[in-house]
Amino acid sequence: MNAEVTPWDVKGKVDYNKLMKEFGIQPFSELLENWNVDVEPMHLMRRGIIFGHRDYDRILEAMNGKKWAVMSGFMPSGLPHLGHKMTMDEIIWHQKAGGFAHVALADMEAHVVRGLSWEKLKEIGKLYLKSLIALGLNPDRAFLYYQSEFGKLKDLAFELSAEVNWSELKAIYGFTPETPLAKMFVTSVQAADILHPQLKDPKPVVVPVGADQDPHIRLTRDLASRVSIFAFEEIDSGVRVRSRRGSEYLRMLEKELSFEYRSYAEHIDVFGERRDIEEFIRKFEVEIGGFAFIPPSSTYHKFITGLTGGKMSSSKPESYISLFDEPSVAEKKVKRAITGGRGSAEEQRRLGGEPERCAVFELFAIHLIERDEDLEEIRRKCVEGEMLCGNCKKLASQLIGEFLKDFQEKVNSVELR
């Protein structure tokens, strides 16, 4: 069966290489080969769980002393589970690496897509905020908000929606004539989530998300350009600058330029260091009231397999572990999980297990094992048939129990401001 991936539905088995080819997502592995910043790549990057990106080079560049931000969001429509924890860990990792963190509680989206009341969304949203902090987010270097309570966000969403038309929405999201207007509008709200960190202060922003969110990212990157005045093209030893609002903006700009340039009717060629020129012009655009958005960067993680096989789904409690599950309940879920084990113990000793299709191994890789050497040891023992699934699950369930106990103690002591 061919996979179908939209932001609200993932069907079938996903071929990540195909996904990357089709949409122009870059493989993250290439970045790892030329990693030139002080922080170690996150474990999800090292382990190929974060498999792709757009423009992450920009973030790596900014990590060397510039201002940048990380931004992502959650629909507070059910208890936060290990899938959400993965994104939370990514936000926290980026914050520790120097980015200012922005987190949206997508209550507007959840209200139209899942039909939950505003009160319920507030209540569940609090659990997400507390979870983020308990997992290590520093609230002093973060901006956490509900979409519905953030006026400037809704203004920006409205502004962005002026640039989006029906055929575009239909092509990107597969909307039909029956789709409610509000469901269409929340796509602009999400674009506003992603772009608001740059209001008045354009900077690189990375959005860590699951692969299903890429349509939003593509639309947002496009909108970032469409609503900004100046457009940049790389040329030999500089940048060609065009205006999307008429040439009078070029004439205003050239009066201010502190670089060498050559002026034409419809563009200006500016010579010098590309990033410096763009930064200068963006500052100028903000001064004259423009947005000057930098297209956001993104990272993509793989979907995690449900414990019962197939997709992890909020509607199947057995398929996921919630951060608020009783440790003993979670331990039992792990013990019942689908593995990459063989039909019999004899067969498994002979052939070894298949960690690459094992939900328990995924738990180790994403959440439970910090050191790469330890993970590699589990993998080796599995494929060599040295360890059987029973013992392996025992270890996983013990680790998950310990993690939840510790996490829940922390969550209970978090005070929201």
Tell me the window of 104-112, 128-136, 289-297, 338-346 that interacts with ligand SF4 (CB under 6 A).
338-346
195 class by beta-carbon count within 10 Å (0-12 exposed, 13-18 middle, 19+ buried): buried
Residue with tokens 């002393």: 65
360 binds ligand SF4 (CB under 6 A): yes
**106 binds ligand TRP, rule: CB under 6 A:** yes
Nearest to ligand SF4 of 286, 307 (CB atom): 307
3-state SS, residue 309? coil
Residues in the chain, overall count: 417
Query: By CB under 6 A, what part of segment 203-222 binds ligand TRP?
Result: 207, 209, 213
Q: Is 109 in the site for ligand TRP (CB under 6 A)?
A: yes
Q: Which two tokens stand for residue 114?
A: 């899942």
How far apart CA 209 and CA 301 sit, in angstroms, is 6
Q: How far is the CB of 302 from ligand SF4 (least distance, A)?
A: 17
Q: How far is the CB of 400 from ligand TRP (least distance, A)?
A: 23
Question: DSSP per residue over 105-174, as a string?
Answer: E-HHHHHHHH---HHHHHHHHHHHHHHHHHTT--GGGEEEEEGGG-HHHHHHHHHHHTT--HHHHHHHH-
Site string for ligand SF4, 287-326 (x = CB under 6 A): ----------------------------------------
The partner in contact with residue 220, picked from ligand TRP, ligand SF4, none with C-beta cut-offs of 5 to 8 angstroms by kind, is: none
Which one of ligand SF4, ligand TRP, none interacts with residue 72, CB within 5 to 8 A by kind?
ligand TRP
Q: Which spans in 314-388 are helix H?
A: 327-335, 345-351, 359-363, 372-383
Site string for ligand TRP, 4-43 (x = CB under 6 A): ---x------------------------------------
At its nearest, how many Å lie between ligand SF4 and the CB of residue 347? Answer: 12
Count residues near ligand SF4 (CB under 6 A): 14
Nearer to ligand TRP, 107 or 331 (CB): 107
Q: Position 34: which residue type?
A: N
Q: How far is CA 410 from the centre of its chain?
A: 25
Q: Which of 28, 43, 73, 285 binds ligand TRP (CB under 6 A)?
A: 73
The Cα-based distances of 151 to 146, 223, 246 in angstroms read: 10, 20, 30
What is the closest distance, in whole angstroms, from the C-beta atom of residue 395 to ligand SF4 in the complex?
8
Binding mask 388-407 for ligand SF4 (x = CB under 6 A): -x--xx--------------
Nearer to ligand SF4, 103 or 337 (CB): 337
Distance CA 212, CA 6 (A): 6
Based on the shown chain and the rule CB under 6 A, indicate whether residue 193 belongs to the binding site for ligand TRP. Answer: yes
Provide the minimum distance between the beta carbon of 16 and ligand SF4 in the complex, in angstroms, as a whole number. 21
If we measure between CA atoms, which residue out of 248, 261, 216 comes closest to residue 113?
Answer: 216
Tell whether residue 340 is a contact of ligand SF4 (CB under 6 A). Answer: yes
As a whole number of angstroms, the distance between CA 355 and CA 367 comes to: 15
- Amino acid identity of residue 263, one-letter, is S
CA-to-CA distance for 393 and 382, rounded, in angstroms? 12
Choice between 73 and 353, CB closer to ligand SF4: 353
Task: Judge whether 50 and 90 are in contact, CB under 8 Å.
Answer: yes
Closest residue by beta carbon to ligand TRP: 73
Count of residues interacting with ligand TRP (CB under 6 A): 15
Selected from 353, 368, 375, 403, the binder of ligand SF4 by CB under 6 A is 353
Contacts 24+ apart (CB under 8 A), 95-99: 95/70, 95/137, 95/138, 95/141, 95/142, 96/39, 96/136, 97/37, 97/39, 97/63, 98/63, 98/68, 99/59, 99/68, 99/69, 99/70, 99/206
In the complex with ligand SF4, the residue whose CB is nearer, 276 or 384, is 384
Q: Which window, 25-33, 35-43, 177-185, 385-393, contacts ligand SF4 (CB under 6 A)?
A: 385-393
Among 76, 83, 290, 341, binds ligand SF4 (CB under 6 A): 341
Which one of ligand SF4, ligand TRP, none is in contact with 339 (Cβ closer than 5 to 8 A by kind)? Answer: ligand SF4
Q: What distance in Å separates the CA atoms of residue 105 and residue 69, rounded to the nearest whole number?
A: 17
> If phi over 0 gives left and psi between -120 and 50 gives alpha, with beta otherwise, what is residue 103?
beta
Closest to ligand TRP by CB, 215 or 340: 215
Instruction: Kindly state whether residue 367 participates in binding ligand SF4, applying the rule CB under 6 A.
Output: no
Gap between the Cα atoms of 390 and 356, Å rounded: 17
**Chain residues that interact with ligand TRP, rule: CB under 6 A:** 7, 71-75, 104, 106, 109, 190, 193-194, 207, 209, 213
